[in-house]
Amino acid sequence: MNRLAGLATRASGAAILAVLSLGGASAHASEAALMPLPVSATVNAAEGQALAITGRFAVRFEGFSDARLQRAVSRFQTDINALTGAAPTSDGPALVIAVSADPAAGTLEAKEAYSLKVTEGGVHLTAAGQDGVLRGLATLRQLVQPQGAGFVLPYAQIEDSPRFPWRGLMVDTARHFVELDTLKRQIDAMERVKLNVLHFHFSDNEGFRIESLRYPRLTEISSHGQYYTQAQVRELVAYAADRGIRVVPELDVPAHTGAIMIAYPELKAAPFDETSRLAMFRAAVDPTKPETFAFIKGLLEEMIPLFPDAYFHVGGDEVAPTAWTANPDIVAYMAANGYEDTAALQDHFFRQVNEIVRSLGKTTMGWEEVAHLPIDDDVVVQAWRSSHIVGHITGQNNRAVVSAGYYLDLLWDGLDHYSRDPLDTAATLLDKPEEQVGPGPEVPLNDHQKALVLGAEAPLWSEAVTDEMVDHRFWPRAALLAERFWSPESVRDPVDAMRRAVPVQEALRIQGLEDLTRRQRMAARLAPHDAEAVEILSEVTVPVRNMGRLAEVFAAVRSGRPVRLPSFTAPVDIAGADSLEIYRLSVWADAVAKGDAAAAGPLRTALQKYRDNHPRFVAAAQGVDSLEQAVPISEEVARLAVVGLEAIDLKTRGARPTAAWTENARALLAKQAQAAEASSSSAKILMGVPQPPALLLVGLTPVIDRLVSSVSPRP
């Protein structure tokens, strides 16, 4: 079907139809903001063509119901009350849910398709399984919109099903502990945008986070007092399952095992400095000792029953060759057994671990390194460094989950992630092409290989993410990725995605997400007398990319100084990789550039706010080092806002800019492009390329660039 953007007509008395088909939606505020976009949807946004929400829905099940579905309906009713502010009276519209029992519910094979129809007679939701009901209710929440004195559901007909069955987020609780309530908030938001896998990374060099009764030193020594009891893990898993989300745990071996080796030093392949993060990163357990595999089996026997999902992740990434070659006994073992290099030894290790996992009734999952040599076909492999490895994984008949291009901790904006498709082997590439394994990015997947791609997963590693930052490091970018993983491949319009993401994110906040409130708290900590000045700057600034937040840590490593992590309380930590305000400004700027005069007013008001905030920020920053470092960035924001205001004036008057104005505008934009280039790759960060003040970039830059280009196109 062709893209039908901007379809709404303004003819007097005519029905205003918003057709959300394979390509996207109209840009009118009255239309439903659905994310992910359904496969097919017709939404009638005309006044009088909507179902009034007058109270709690009168729910009736047809065919099948169980306690899980009843709880899903209860959550839905609570969310509708929050979204409408209406009193929970009992005279609401009818909601009929026709569903068949799906024996595969809650698994990778769950039936998630649904049909949704809203008419004057009520709502009819049809699904082939329990998970389909949850996905339909998620869409129904997003249909709610204000009209007149209350709230309504526009008449709609929707047919929908996911593109991929595996649509996940990964949370790293090892490096910085994440509170149980914070994890639950992410699960709540995941349900509302149809994400269905939470990859739970609970062990690494920095900590082991699940209570072990069999190996108590893991939490006595290596959790730093922050861990989940086994009862809490069961609670989390049940909480997620209720919301149609599978929890896939990860015990990372043989590297990333510093916490394990500190607790049980007899497992070390070689001694290492336990006070050095770098030394710990280069260490691994000994793959030649029977005791190592006995420990892993014992630990898995304890951990696996906590997680009912069919898949268990065993890591396998980033094994430094020296972790093993520094031990003469391991080198001799390799020679005696014909292992030519450490890659072959790692393959031996993985095969042993895979057999343990299989013997305990689970299917093994591992990072891409486990598949550099052929492995059992049933192993699921997670591609993380570059997209082309998916060709290698699927070429040897393994199923793949794609994370390359979706690393949220690298702090690329949501549109960058949104532009990358899980089936595109050239979507993201290594900094070091010589490390390439398998076919290159120019080799597309064939149909058989595409069928082996289960889906994708966006990791959030927590080297530079604390508990209070989790919400705004995941969202709103996770909503954009939910669409990339669910909707048809042809759904690609970035401006339309930003337009819809704004009300979707606001709704998530109403329903409990704390991205905004936690950023406000962080701003108040730094500037209690004028936190708003810090908040305003954070709306239009973003952190440097590619772990640039840890530039000082890498500098310490290069110089041999002790490595200490920063406190993560500075403006760079308050700023989101994506800002909802930037989404708004981008949509308005695109409309102004296309000649929509109505968008000029709100855009002008916003830019005036950012222009005028600079003196406030300077005053608020006095005596606070981290804020004072950001003063030059605040000044750049003000200058760019002035250019944007001037561009709006030129556009609305139909005037041409002078050569001097264009030169000045382009110079300001070029300065920001140069600042962004400094963190455009991890190699530049590691080499110590100087970063901008306060490690902040001006996120307003693309908005101003769009406006400048509309009045002064590049040659």
Q: Which residues are tagged catalytic?
A: 318
d(CA 55, CA 88): 6
For tokens 């406190």, name the residue: 567
Residue with tokens 């006595």: 220
From the list 671, 660, 661, 663, the residue with the least C-alpha distance to 637 is 671
Contact at 8 Å (CB) between 353 and 296? yes
Alpha-carbon distances of 423 from 4, 35, 301, 471, rounded to whole Å: 25, 20, 35, 28
Determine the Cα–Cα distance for residues 76 and 141; give it in Å rounded to an integer.
Answer: 7
Quote the CA–CA distance of 673 and 669 in Å, as a whole number: 6
Please tell me the distance from the alpha carbon of residue 303 to that of residue 325, in angstroms, as a whole number: 31
Contact between 218 and 262 (Cβ < 8 Å): no
Find all residues with CB under 8 Å of 710, minimum gap 6, and list them: 592, 593, 647, 651
Closest residue by Cα to residue 147 from 51, 43, 81, 33: 51
Q: What share of the chain is helix, strand, coil (3-state, %, to 5)?
A: 45, 15, 40
b (16+ CB within 10 A) / e for 597-616: eebbeebbebbeebbebbeb
CA nearest neighbour of 438 among 489, 533, 485, 371: 371
Whole-number Å distance between alpha carbons of 207 and 223: 5
C-alpha to C-alpha distance for 415 and 476, rounded to whole angstroms: 11
Cα 94 to Cα 355: distance, rounded to the nearest angstrom = 52
CA gap 31, 36 in Å, rounded? 15
| Sign (positive or negative) of CA dihedral 685, 688, 689, 690 | positive
d(CA 691, CA 699): 15
Prior bond of 566 cis (ω within 30°) = no
Name the DSSP letter for residue 38: P
Using left for φ > 0, alpha for ψ between -120 and 50, and beta otherwise, residue 572 falls in alpha
Tokens of 592: 């102004």
DSSP 288: T
Paired tokens of 149: 């004195």
Tell me how far apart the alpha carbons of residues 460 and 407 are, in angstroms, rounded to a whole number.
Answer: 6
The tokens of 236 are what?
């989390």
What contacts 393, CB < 8 A, 6 or more positions away?
A: 368, 371, 381, 383, 399, 400, 438, 452
The span from the CA of 125 to the CA of 97, in Å, is 5
Radius of gyration from C-alpha coordinates of the chain = 26
Q: What is the dihedral of CA 341, 346, 348, 349, to 10 degrees?
A: 150
Q: Cα–Cα distance between 173 and 249 in angstroms, integer?
A: 11
